[in-house]
């Protein structure tokens, strides 16, 4: 009679997988290895931070709500008390959940539970990003964002390194992707989804250049639309960033449409049109709402009427931040994008020389990040000046000198600042 063990070994050969054959229920030797001391010390600090932060946050948000309700004129810039209280409440709940998660994350680091620590790192990344967005809506851009940004960087680094099995899997997948890309390039299929489930491979390289190209194309389309339809013959700068011919709402919109419609590129025109209209309209309304609540910035406001006497249900639903005609326009753009533009754009992207693909993408990404951060800082300083808050730091003085109100109004010609419509809780100071 044959030995079952030897038969199992014959039928299940070793494919040089990690020690657990990629079974997450069985830990490998690498996973059982103690986490470095410095990381465990960081874990202890995280747990301590979470424990200390819980009562402090409760006191802070309690005082903030008390001041908003009883003395709102001393702390509230906007006139919508309900919005500010709501965002403060959401921020307090999120901060409480994040503090509890930080305690658990710190405990997993101290106990060297690598896989659990990796999972909690991913969860904390999402919560930290959400906290940053809410902090901007309540307090704008400032030094209060330094801590969560540093935490986000550390969490991102730990999520990529703390679990060795995940790191090995990513390295193997990256190596396989490089081989596939070279084979696809030789066959003229570079950038395509080789599984056949979608049209384009959804990796950072492809999506980043989709974003870049559509930032420019969207700006061109909007300028032409304004000159031909809105105000014939009159040029208006419709740029959305401080530097360059970029309108990021179209770039991000194109990325969302590409991700959402990638598997629908063979579907009916009607389905693609409807999905594009819904995604584009909701995205446009969400961006408009966030910009208004964060910086009091209104760059577009649509009529509540389709025709005189005929209400526009989409404009009413989204408070004028999108409209039925523009949702139909998003649907048309999405259909044209997936069926006509995307295949040609992929060919254009693949013209980037192989040896320059990653270096060029890294450099342009860094430049666009600087552009985006400076744009948000300039908007925040513009908001503060309009609110009567005088520059009080070197950063604010820099933007007041180089990007003053006249410059900002000329650069963002469709945008106006309305502090009373924001959810900010800064204390406005009268001009000297």
pLDDT digits 0-9 by tens, 17-28: 444 444 455 555
Q: What is the mean pLDDT of residues 323-335?
A: 92
* 12 pLDDT more than 60: no
* 178 pLDDT more than 80: no
Give the pLDDT confidence of 29-46 residue by residue, as tens digits: 555 567 888 888 989 998
| CA neighbor of 257 nearest in space, from 219, 207, 324, 299 | 207
Question: Which position has the higher pLDDT, 356 or 281?
Answer: 281
- Looking at residue 210, its pLDDT comes to 92
Q: How far apart are CA 220 and CA 416, in angstroms?
A: 22
* 169 pLDDT more than 80: no
Q: How far apart are CA 301 and CA 307, in angstroms?
A: 16
CB of 77 closer than 8 Å to CB of 422? yes
Q: What percent of the chain has pLDDT over 70?
A: 76
Q: How far apart are CA 413 and CA 236, in angstroms?
A: 7
- Looking at residue 28, its pLDDT comes to 52
| CA neighbor of 381 nearest in space, from 426, 314, 432, 319 | 426
Per-residue pLDDT band for 422 (boundaries 50, 70, 90) equals confident
- Looking at residue 10, its pLDDT comes to 43
| CA neighbor of 301 nearest in space, from 329, 321, 281, 285 | 321
Per-residue pLDDT band for 5 (boundaries 50, 70, 90) equals very low
Question: Which position has the higher pLDDT, 31 or 369?
Answer: 369
- Looking at residue 277, its pLDDT comes to 94
| CA neighbor of 290 nearest in space, from 248, 330, 230 | 248
Q: What is the mean pLDDT of residues 378-403?
A: 88
CB of 350 closer than 8 Å to CB of 276? no
- Looking at residue 3, its pLDDT comes to 47
Q: How far apart are CA 432 and CA 430, in angstroms?
A: 6
pTM of the complete model beyond 0.85: no
DSSP code of residue 312: -
User: Mean pLDDT in the chain?
Assistant: 80
Per-residue pLDDT band for 324 (boundaries 50, 70, 90) equals very high
* 193 pLDDT more than 60: no
331 contacts: CB under 8 Å, gap ≥ 6: 273, 274, 276, 277, 280
Q: What is the mean pLDDT of residues 260-266?
A: 83
- Looking at residue 405, its pLDDT comes to 94
| Token pair 């940053």 in the structure block, residue | 132
Give the pLDDT confidence of 118-164 residue by residue, as tens digits: 889 989 999 999 989 888 888 888 888 888 899 898 888 887 777 65
Q: What is the mean pLDDT of residues 305-310?
A: 78
- Looking at residue 227, its pLDDT comes to 92
- Looking at residue 7, its pLDDT comes to 41
Say how many C-beta atoms besides its own lie within 10 A of residue 216's C-beta: 15
- Looking at residue 9, its pLDDT comes to 44
Give the pLDDT confidence of 80-125 residue by residue, as tens digits: 667 777 787 888 888 889 999 999 999 999 988 888 888 899 899 9
Say how many C-beta atoms besides its own lie within 10 A of residue 201's C-beta: 21
Q: What is the mean pLDDT of residues 326-332?
A: 93
* 332 pLDDT more than 50: yes
- CA distance from start to end of the chain: 97
Per-residue pLDDT band for 291 (boundaries 50, 70, 90) equals very high
Per-residue pLDDT band for 71 (boundaries 50, 70, 90) equals low
DSSP for 330-393, please give it: HHHHHHHIIIIIHHHHHHHHTTS-GGGHHHHHHHHHHHHHHHHHHHHHHHHHHHHHHTT----S
| Token pair 């013959």 in the structure block, residue | 233
DSSP code of residue 200: B
| CA neighbor of 387 nearest in space, from 427, 354, 338, 347 | 427
Q: Are strands 297-298 and 310-311 parallel, antiparallel or unpaired?
A: unpaired
Per-residue pLDDT band for 276 (boundaries 50, 70, 90) equals very high
Q: How far apart are CA 284 and CA 150, in angstroms?
A: 30
Question: Which position has the higher pLDDT, 58 or 361?
Answer: 361
Phi-psi domain of 381 (left: phi exceeds 0; alpha: psi -120 through 50; beta: other): alpha
């Amino acid at each position: 009679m044959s030995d079952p063990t030897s038969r199992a070994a014959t039928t299940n050969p070793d494919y040089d997988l990690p020690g657990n054959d990629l079974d997450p229920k069985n830990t490998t030797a690498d996973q059982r290895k103690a986490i470095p001391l410095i990381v465990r010390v960081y874990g202890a600090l995280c747990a301590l931070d979470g424990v200390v932060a819980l009562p402090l946050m409760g006191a802070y948000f309690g005082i903030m709500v008390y001041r908003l309700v009883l003395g709102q004129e001393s702390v509230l810039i906007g006139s919508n008390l309900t919005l500010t209280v709501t965002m403060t409440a959401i921020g307090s709940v999120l901060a409480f959940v994040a503090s509890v998660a930080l305690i658990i994350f710190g405990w997993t680091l101290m106990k060297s539970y690598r896989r659990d620590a990796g999972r909690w790192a991913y969860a904390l990344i999402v919560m930290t990003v959400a906290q940053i967005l809410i902090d901007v809506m309540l307090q704008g851009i400032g030094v209060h964002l330094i801590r969560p940004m540093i935490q986000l960087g550390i969490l991102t680094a730990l999520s990529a390194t703390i679990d060795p099995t995940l790191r090995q899997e990513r390295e193997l997948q990256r190596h396989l992707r490089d081989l596939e890309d070279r084979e696809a390039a030789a066959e003229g299929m570079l950038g395509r989804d080789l599984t056949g489930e979608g049209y384009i491979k959804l990796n950072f390289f492809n999506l980043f250049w989709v974003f870049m190209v559509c930032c420019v194309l969207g700006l061109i389309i909007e300028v032409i639309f304004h000159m031909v339809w809105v105000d014939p013959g009159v040029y208006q700068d419709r740029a959305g960033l401080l530097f360059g011919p970029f309108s990021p709402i179209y770039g991000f919109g194109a990325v969302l449409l590409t991700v959402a419609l990638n598997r629908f590129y063979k579907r009916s025109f009607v389905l693609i049109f409807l999905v594009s209209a819904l995604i584009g309209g909701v995205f446009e309304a969400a961006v408009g709402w966030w910009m208004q609540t964060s910086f009091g910035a209104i760059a577009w406001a649509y009529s509540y009427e389709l025709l005189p006497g005929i209400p526009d249900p989409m404009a009413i639903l989204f408070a004028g931040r999108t409209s039925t005609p523009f949702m139909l326009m998003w649907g048309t753009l999405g259909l044209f994008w997936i069926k006509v533009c995307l295949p040609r754009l992929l060919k254009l992207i693949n013209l980037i020389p192989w040896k320059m693909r990653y270096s060029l993408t890294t450099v342009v990404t860094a430049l666009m990040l600087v552009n985006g951060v400076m744009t948000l800082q300039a908007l925040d300083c513009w908001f503060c000046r309009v609110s009567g808050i005088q520059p009080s730091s070197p950063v604010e003085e820099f933007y007041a000198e180089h990007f003053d109100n006249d410059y900002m109004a000329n650069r963002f010609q469709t945008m106006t600042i309305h502090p009373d419509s924001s959810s900010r809780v800064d204390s406005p100071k009268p001009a000297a």
